[in-house]
C-alpha cells in the first residue's frame, strides 16, 4: 500500500490527487501547502487529514513513502533532492528541473538511492503512442530511417481557447519573467519525448531554431514582456540513426492541439496522432508498401503515468518516464536555448563594413 503525499496543491495537484485516490493499493495520506486556506480546502476535497505548512514538518512526521511533487518548476529541484535524501519515492511534474545539470543530478541521486523516480509526461498516456512503440520494438517497421514530429497549436490566432491578449492564463505563457520557456518548454518537450519514446531511441543530434514573433506594440502587453519562443523547429538524429524533424508552434492555424508523429522504417511506416484526448494509429507494412496503403491499428487502453507510479511504488520496480529520461529531454531544451542565445547575440553585432 503506497502512502502518497501531495506536495503543492495548485490546479495540477487536483489531477494528481484524483488519480492517486483512484489507484489500487494506494493511499493519499498527506499534503503540503504554504497557504492555509488552500491547504484546508485541498485536505477537505480529498479527505486528507495530515496537512503540513512546509516540507520539513512532513518529513519529520514521516508517515509517507512517496510524493507527488506539484510545486512550481523552480522548486522541483530543492524539494526533490530533500525527499531523495529522506529515501522517498518521487513522482515529479515536468519539467524535472530548470536546467540539465540539475536534472541530471536529480536522476543520479535517485538512482543511487534506489528509489522510484518518475516524471509526469502526460502524453505517455496515449494508447496510440504506446502501441506504436510496441510495434517498433517488435520490428514491425524495421529500422527507422526518417521521421516527422510536430505539436501544433493555434491559440495565438484562434480564440477557441480564449483571448491571449487579455487573459493572464495565456499571457504568462508568453513571458520569461512570468516563468515561461515558450512553446518549447510548454509543449515542445512533449513532442521530443513522444517521438523519441515511440522510436525507442534517444535524441543524439539536434539543430534547432526558435522564434518569437512581433505580437503587440513594444512587444509587451501590460506587465508581460512577450519575449519567449512562439515556434521551435529542429532537425534531429536519433541514436538509432533515424533522421527527421521535430516542431512545435502556437501559430498552426487550423489545429487546436494536435500531436502528429510519423515514423518510416525499412519495413513499414507508422502514423501516430493525438489531441491529448483521442489518439489513433495507422500502419503501412508488408504488401501495402508497394501500394502505399495505410491501415488503422487497434490501440488498447494503457495505464496512466499516475497508475504506473503507484504500481512502481508497490512493486519496487521503477517505470518510464524516469528522471534520467526527463534529464535527457532537459538537455535538449537547454541545447535549443543555447543555440538560440548564440544566434541572437551574434545577430546583435555591428555590421562589417570593409
Question: Interaction with a second copy in 119-158: which residues (CB under 8 A)?
Answer: 141, 143, 145-146, 148, 150, 154, 157-158
269 binds a second copy (CB under 8 A): yes
Distance (Å, rounded) from C-alpha 89 to C-alpha 245? 35
How many helices (DSSP H) and strands (DSSP E) are in the chain? 12, 16
Tell how far CA 1 is from the center of its chain. Answer: 27
Out of 37, 138, 317, 352, point to the residue binding a second copy (CB under 8 A): 352
Minimum gap (Å) between residue 7 Cβ and a second copy: 26
CB of 38 to a second copy, least distance (A): 32
| Residues 163, 155: Cα–Cα separation, whole Å | 8
Single out the residue of 103, 116, 118, 234 in contact with a second copy (rule: CB under 8 A). 234
What is the enclosing helix (H) or strand (E) of 51?
A: strand 50-52
Query: Which of the residues 304 through 343 are near a second copy (CB under 8 A)?
Result: 331, 334-335, 338-339, 341-342
Instruction: Based on the shown chain and the rule CB under 8 A, indicate whether residue 350 belongs to the binding site for a second copy.
Output: yes
* CB of 83 closer than 8 Å to CB of 58: no
Q: How far apart are CA 265 and CA 286, in angstroms?
A: 12
Nearer to a second copy by C-beta: 8 or 321? 321
Q: Report whether 312 contacts 321 (CB < 8 A).
A: no
Q: Segment contacting a second copy (CB under 8 A): 38-46, 63-71, 166-174, 201-209?
A: 201-209
Name residues whose C-beta falls within 8 Å of residue 322's C-beta, 6 or more positions apart in sequence. Answer: 107, 117, 118, 119
- Least Cα distance to 151 among 275, 31, 332, 18 occurs for 275
Cα 164 from Cα 119, distance rounded (Å): 28
Q: How does strand 117-119 pair with strand 50-52?
A: unpaired
What gap in Å lies between CA 153 and CA 317, rounded to an integer?
36
Identify which of residues 93 and 271 has a Cβ nearer to a second copy in the complex: 271
**Binding flag, residue 292, a second copy (CB under 8 A):** yes
β-strands 144-153, 203-211 pairing: unpaired
Which lies closer to a second copy via its Cβ, residue 57 or residue 293? 293
In the bound state with a second copy, the residue whose beta carbon lies nearer, of 287 and 300, is: 287
Minimal distance in Å, beta carbon 203 to a second copy? 7
Q: Which three cell numbers stand for residue 38?
A: 488552500
* Residues from 18 through 77 that contact a second copy (CB under 8 A): none
Note whether 249 binds a second copy by CB under 8 A. yes
- Residue 29: CB minimum distance to a second copy, A: 37
Interaction between residue 100 and a second copy (CB under 8 A):
yes
The single residue among 289, 296, 315, 316 that binds a second copy, judged by CB under 8 A, is 289
Give the binding range for a second copy (CB under 8 A) out of 24-32, 35-43, 54-62, 211-219. Answer: 211-219
Amino acid at each position: 500500500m503506497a502512502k502518497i503525499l501531495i506536495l503543492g496543491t495548485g490546479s495540477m495537484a487536483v489531477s494528481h490527487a484524483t488519480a492517486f485516490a483512484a489507484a489500487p493499493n494506494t493511499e493519499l495520506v498527506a499534503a503540503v501547502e504554504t497557504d492555509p486556506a488552500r491547504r484546508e480546502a485541498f485536505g477537505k476535497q480529498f479527505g486528507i487529514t495530515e496537512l503540513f505548512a512546509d516540507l520539513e514538518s512532513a518529513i519529520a512526521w514521516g508517515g509517507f513513502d512517496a510524493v507527488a511533487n506539484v510545486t512550481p518548476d523552480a522548486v522541483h529541484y530543492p524539494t526533490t533532492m530533500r525527499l531523495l535524501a529522506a529515501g522517498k519515492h518521487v513522482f515529479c511534474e515536468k519539467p524535472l528541473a530548470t536546467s540539465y545539470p540539475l536534472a541530471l543530478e536529480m536522476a543520479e541521486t535517485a538512482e543511487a538511492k534506489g528509489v522510484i523516480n518518475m516524471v509526469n509526461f502526460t502524453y505517455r498516456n496515449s494508447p496510440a503512442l504506446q502501441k506504436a512503440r510496441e510495434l517498433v520494438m517488435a520490428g514491425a517497421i524495421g529500422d527507422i530511417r526518417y521521421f516527422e514530429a510536430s505539436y501544433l497549436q493555434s491559440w495565438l490566432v484562434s480564440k477557441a481557447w480564449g483571448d491571449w491578449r487579455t487573459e493572464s492564463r495565456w499571457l504568462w505563457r508568453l513571458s520569461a519573467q512570468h516563468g515561461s520557456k515558450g512553446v518549447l518548454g510548454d509543449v515542445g518537450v512533449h513532442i521530443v519525448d513522444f517521438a523519441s519514446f515511440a522510436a525507442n531511441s534517444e535524441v543524439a543530434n539536434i539543430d534547432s531554431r526558435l522564434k518569437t514573433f512581433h505580437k503587440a506594440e513594444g512587444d509587451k502587453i501590460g506587465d508581460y514582456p512577450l519575449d519567449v519562443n512562439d515556434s521551435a523547429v529542429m532537425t534531429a538524429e536519433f541514436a538509432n540513426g533515424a533522421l527527421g524533424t521535430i516542431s512545435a508552434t502556437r501559430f498552426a492555424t487550423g489545429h487546436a492541439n494536435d500531436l502528429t508523429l510519423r515514423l518510416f522504417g525499412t519495413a513499414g511506416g507508422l502514423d501516430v496522432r493525438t489531441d491529448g484526448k483521442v489518439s489513433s494509429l495507422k500502419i503501412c507494412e508488408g504488401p501495402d508498401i508497394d501500394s502505399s496503403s495505410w491501415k488503422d491499428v487497434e490501440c488498447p487502453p494503457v495505464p496512466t503515468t499516475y497508475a504506473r507510479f503507484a504500481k512502481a511504488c508497490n512493486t519496487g520496480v521503477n517505470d518510464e518516464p524516469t528522471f534520467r529520461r526527463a534529464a535527457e529531454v532537459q538537455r535538449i531544451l537547454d541545447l535549443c536555448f543555447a543555440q538560440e542565445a548564440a544566434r541572437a547575440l551574434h545577430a546583435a553585432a555591428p555590421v562589417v563594413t570593409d
